[in-house]
Structure 1
Amino acid sequence: MKRSLPVALSAAAVVVVAGAWLASRRLAEGSVATAAPSAAAASASASAAVASAPPAEPHVRQSERGFDILSPVYTIDRIYRSMMGPQSMQHIPMKSDGASNDQELVWVTGLKATMVAPDGQTPMPPEYMCHVNVDIDPLAHEKSYGHPLNISGRLFTLSQGQIDVALPKGFGIPIRSDQVVDITTQVLNLNTHSDPFGVRHHVEMSALRDSAAKQPMKPLFMAGVYGLALLKGEHGHFGKEKPSHEGTGCMMGKAASDGSYVDPQGKEFTGHWIVKPGREVNRTDVTTMMNLPFDTTIHYIAVHLHPFAESLTLIDRTTGETVYSAKTRQLEGKIGLAHVDSFSSEEGVKVYKDHEYELESVYENTTGEDQDSMAVMLLYLHDKQFTRTPVATQPAAAPSSSSSAK
């Protein structure tokens, strides 16, 4: 299926939201499974937990620090490639428990997720996490303020290698307490062959009510940039009729899943492509994706990559300087990512509306088979246009599943 841009590309473990683009889609992903003795041992322990597990219903508990969420129990009974495992969505009202007309400003400041057994407490390996996505209906949110906002539908994505986000002290994403957020969770299994067992996500979303803030909070908005492979077109410079700087655009590639995107110039791209055995370096012009409304500063960067990725680098093409480069660490003896770097700074790093930017991904496929790949940076930028006073509004309805990125 071909779709026109601008859109928000989203995926496995990650959903990419490009600037203020609001639409989203799912990309199916693939990977190769291998046996892992340590994971099998964890599976046996989890199987025992299933036998004595409490009911599998999801659970949400609100506190002064935010929200504590347990997903439904998911059964792992086979190899589940990325975006192929069981999943669900939970609607979380942001208002205070028992409040009927709650319209206070709330600052979302972080997200953490761990994998646990069905009892909700026994730790399970993080390799069973495909992703956790947190979304909000951007149109309803913007309507509640009565003027345009620099906000997309995605607040956070956690995935393998990065299972927590903590925004710098004093920073947050502002939303209204009469809004509803969607929490989407999905499991993954690339390595374990065993009897069926249960796992679930334990998600902690940190949120601070404005009335409880000890000092004024600084607003952030998120813009997503992502690597692309060119499927059809004269050159691989996304969203541009002709490249305005020298150097290659994103490479010609083969899609790893159904679906592609067409930019305004008619070029066809995929954000989920095949990496052949060996080393691959791919560069994508992401200036159009960033769509900066003004000069500003980046205060947090989350990164999504697939197994066999080595690094992801954001480059200011105008100055030639590196804005940020993230490195990875692979799981030992298994397919997967043990760690992906992230960036956090109260001071921030400057980016400019009139500069051009490029994303460079490096993969080293050490197997003899094709592997799938993605390359995403989620940039949390200072919103200098945010105003604190919204217009009066009725409580928002829950976002529909069709409008949420998965």
Structure 2
Amino acid sequence: MTKSKIYKYTAILVFSAIVVTGIVYSQLSNRHKAIVKTKALYLTGLLDSNWTVASGTQEYNMVSPTFLIDGIYKSMEGPKASRYIQLNQTEKLLWIKGFEVQALDANTNAVLSNDYICHMNVDINDVKYYHHWQLNDRIGKQYPRLTSLSQGLERFDFPEGYGVPVIGNDFLFVTSQTLNQNIPDIFKKVKHKITVKYDASKNPIKPLMSKTVFIQLPFDKHDPFKGPLDPGSNQCIPVETKNHTYEDKNGNKLSGHWVIPTGAATYRSSIKEQLQIQDSARLHFSAPHVHPFATAISIYDKTANKTVFTCKVTNYKDKIGLKAIQPFRSETGVWLYGNHDYELVLNVNNTAATEQDMMGSMFLFFHDRELEQKIQPQ
């Protein structure tokens, strides 16, 4: 075969590969396009892919790689990055006291609004974590997410005298993701600054245990995207059926990420099985996670027929986004009981002209009496 033919066939193959790649890429969801695009920009060196870490005595600070915001990215769609961290390199007992995430201009380091913060997740290695405290019966019982910050709740501190105990060299898995709900014509480079606040002293601190609860709504597994739905049916139309899809003990499909129509509505589901309270537990803090157009999220005690607490949500009036989410915080705490049935209740008011996506969850922090007994001898 002549060189000219080799060049010709090579060019055809390259061109065909480019066309096929373009077709496949065009069919991806916005979320998956962001993943592919971000990886390509990091691999080619067009974007800074490095994390910057500066660990102090009471804070662990890090700055994310650069994220390129080049269009609308709704909740859970934007560029993101993950890494493992250790608060220090020792086996000393530390107490996590709070978290914070800020958006920064990648060029100037100026602090930006929360318009560019989708969420920042912190996961634990539950096998190592609970094995260290000889609490192996807890392993695998819940998704090992310690907490999440999101737009409207970009920082929080636990009540005075309480914290999450960790060993300094335990690994935490951190993921931070960007957001852009309002500006379609944009080309902006953003970083996230993440802070983990902790106490390394020997001051008496009570341990907190995190439990995640979230709304799950049933949908028609045979025709999941059919609408409109009867408002009183307690069904939903899922955003998709691959992620945030669950199955109850009767084989019914449930979604934790669904579509809301225009107007006001209330969504609720039982969280009794998610709580896994054996006898009683005292709740001291709750970090809610909701999407724009949510107005309040509550825990309701069906057995006692009363609301345990409500977290108010404030939306921006001149743009899509969450201005503030009010966490629940209490030094004295509130008791939840294993023989009570609890619901998570979410109020929304979609003032946009189109349907929007929605989630409703809480990271609940209870006084961990069992772990306290394990720590005290040390």
- 2:354 corresponds in structure 1 to 369
Deviation at 1:213, TM superposition (A): 2.9
The CA distance in 1 between the partners of 2:158 and 2:277, in whole Å, is 20
Structure with more of its chain in helix, by fraction: 2
Deviation at 1:178, TM superposition (A): 2.6
The CA distance in 1 between the partners of 2:296 and 2:65, in whole Å, is 34
The CA distance in 2 between the partners of 1:290 and 1:337, in whole Å, is 27
1:94 pairs, out of 87, 95, 105, with 87
Deviation at 1:350, TM superposition (A): 1.1
Is the Cα contact below 8 Å between 1:58 and 1:69 reproduced in 2? yes
Residue correspondence of structure 1 range 297-312 to structure 2 within 5 A = 297-312=282-297
1:228 aligns with 2:216: yes
- 2:364 corresponds in structure 1 to 379
Is the Cα contact below 8 Å between 1:29 and 1:256 reproduced in 2? no
1:256 aligns with 2:247: no
1:270 aligns with 2:259: no
Deviation at 1:252, TM superposition (A): 0.8
1:130 aligns with 2:118: yes
- 1:219 corresponds in structure 2 to 207
Deviates more, 1:273-282 or 1:188-197: 188-197
**SS of match in other structure, 1:385:** helix
1:284-324 per-residue CA deviation (whole Å, 9 max, x = no partner) reads 11111111133121111111111111111111111112111
1:18-59 per-residue CA deviation (whole Å, 9 max, x = no partner) reads xxxxxxxxxx999xxxxxxxxxxxxxxxxxxxxxxx966211
1:59-96 per-residue CA deviation (whole Å, 9 max, x = no partner) reads 11111112011011111111112222111112112334
Percent of residue pairs identical: 28
After superposition, the Cα gap between the structure-2 partners of 1:198 and 1:168, relative to the gap in structure 1 and judged at 3 Å, is same
1:328 pairs, out of 296, 308, 313, with 313
**SS of match in other structure, 1:139:** helix
- 1:60 corresponds in structure 2 to 53
Return the structure number with greater relative CO, CA threshold 8 A, min gap 6: 1
Q: What 5-or-longer segments of structure 2 have no aligned partner?
A: 1-28, 32-46, 222-230
**Rg bigger for which structure?**
2
- 1:23 corresponds in structure 2 to none
**SS of match in other structure, 1:344:** strand
Is the Cα contact below 8 Å between 2:158 and 2:329 reproduced in 1? yes
The CA distance in 1 between the partners of 2:306 and 2:136, in whole Å, is 32
Residue correspondence of structure 1 range 273-288 to structure 2 within 5 A = 273-288=258-273
Deviation at 1:340, TM superposition (A): 1.1
Aligned residues: 321
Is the Cα contact below 8 Å between 1:249 and 1:285 reproduced in 2? no
Is the Cα contact below 8 Å between 2:75 and 2:291 reproduced in 1? no
After superposition, the Cα gap between the structure-2 partners of 1:249 and 1:382, relative to the gap in structure 1 and judged at 3 Å, is farther
TM-score (normalised: structure 1): 0.74
Amino acid at match of 2:180: N
- 1:313 corresponds in structure 2 to 298
The CA distance in 1 between the partners of 2:263 and 2:375, in whole Å, is 54
**SS of match in other structure, 1:179:** coil
Amino acid at match of 2:117: M
Amino acid at match of 1:83: M
The CA distance in 2 between the partners of 1:195 and 1:363, in whole Å, is 29
The CA distance in 2 between the partners of 1:56 and 1:358, in whole Å, is 42
**SS of match in other structure, 1:318:** coil
- Please, what is the CA RMSD of the aligned residues? 2.6
TM-score (normalised: structure 2): 0.79
Deviates more, 1:160-169 or 1:224-233: 224-233
Q: What 5-or-longer segments of structure 1 have no aligned partner?
A: 1-27, 31-53, 97-101, 234-247, 392-406
Deviation at 1:368, TM superposition (A): 2.6
The CA distance in 2 between the partners of 1:206 and 1:103, in whole Å, is 18
After superposition, the Cα gap between the structure-2 partners of 1:92 and 1:249, relative to the gap in structure 1 and judged at 3 Å, is farther
Deviation at 1:169, TM superposition (A): 1.1
Amino acid at match of 1:76: I
